[in-house]
Structure 1
Amino acid sequence: MSEQKSARSKPKGNADKPAQAGVTDGEIPRPAVPDSAQVFTTLGAVAWLMGRSPAHRHLFMADLDWLVLPPLQLGQARLYHRDNQPIAYVSWGFLSEEVEARLLAGTPRLKPTDWKSGDRPWVIETVAPFAQASALEEIVADLTKTVFGGVRPNIIVVRSRQKVHGHEPSVW
């Protein structure tokens, strides 16, 4: 299983210097943001996965605007592949106490500003119609190590989309 890393934006600066993601001429770090082509390519793969997922196939296209685009644009999502085939998409947020409370109360729709509102690590969405439980554990282990600094995140689990709209998520 491999992951697709987001393409990074190139900093402004001298053309003769090699570009280093996240660094400007003054060496002040800035967040690396995926470029639009990568966002759109990943969005297509995520939509394809959602179309094959019983828990996601009945979502509206408009749901991509709040469920998929913000984490893609913030670099808080990964697409995993096996044999050059997308098998899983995962998005995460660092939530404030207030946003976490809303999520636990059954309001799964995050505003764009909610995704980076605090320091509480959460896996917000997982679309994995072809992945076995062991693959999902590998994905969580990868994110725990590479994104969350060794801290296992809370994971929102929704058994079906009806329950999301009926406000019955649980935590794994």
Structure 2
Amino acid sequence: MMQFEGIDITAPAMFPHDSWNRAETLGAITWLWLRTSPYREAPLSELDKYVLPVLDNGQFALFTEQGRVFGYLSWAAFNQETEAQYLQSDNVLHIPANWQSGNRIWLIDWFAPFGDSLRMKTLARRYLFPRSQAHSLYHKTQHGKPKIMRFTGE
């Protein structure tokens, strides 16, 4: 776990020499999952598809301040083919190897149920992806069709 601006960030893929506890991390992510719509309505078996592969490959960041977890994000590094498939269906996420198939960064899940999205975005741009471009699918559009969002590091 690394500390930046008073925030502890657990991100094994970014800080591989830092220790972290898998069970505690799964518990924290599950706790956030259950407080984040629409995930809280999903069956817990979905954790097997969307969270356990992330714990295996370390492509996540868990944000904690003074012992209180407040945010989580996960990302995949797709190749061009997997990226094209992802834009059609998130079924590509059910194959663990797809999460690390290339160098195109896609933010997959973003939980900030207590209003800390802007703070997470700033920290992610500054410390997790400072020299990278990342993409995400924004699902809350007026027309119901996901929109591709792009982020660049600071």
TM range (shorter): 0.7 to 0.9
Deviation per CA, 1:27-79: give whole Å up to 9, x if none: xxxxx5987x7122111111111111122111111111110111111111110
What does residue range 1-172 of structure 1 map to in structure 2 within 5 Å?
A: 2-5=7-10, 32=16, 38-105=21-88, 107-109=89-91, 110=93, 111-142=95-126, 145-146=127-128, 148=129, 150-159=131-140, 168-172=145-149
Contact 1:34 1:75 in 2 (8 A): no
Contact 2:28 2:69 in 1 (8 A): yes
Structure 1 stretches of at least 4 aligned residues deviating more than 4 Å after TM superposition: 32-35
Alignment-mate amino acid for residue 171 of structure 1:
I
CA RMSD of aligned residues (A): 2.8
CA spacing shift, 1:33–1:120, aligned 2, 3 Å: same
CA spacing shift, 1:3–1:158, aligned 2, 3 Å: farther
Structure 2 regions of 5+ residues with no counterpart? 1-5, 150-154
Structure with higher strand content:
2
Q: Which has the larger radius of gyration?
A: 1
SS of the residue 2:72 aligns to: strand
Contact 1:92 1:122 in 2 (8 A): yes
Matches of 2:123 and 2:57 in 1, distance apart?
19
How far off is 1:84 after superposition?
Answer: 1.7
CA spacing shift, 1:40–1:139, aligned 2, 3 Å: same
**TM-score (norm. length: structure 2):** 0.76
Matches of 2:41 and 2:81 in 1, distance apart?
29
How far off is 1:157 after superposition?
Answer: 2.5
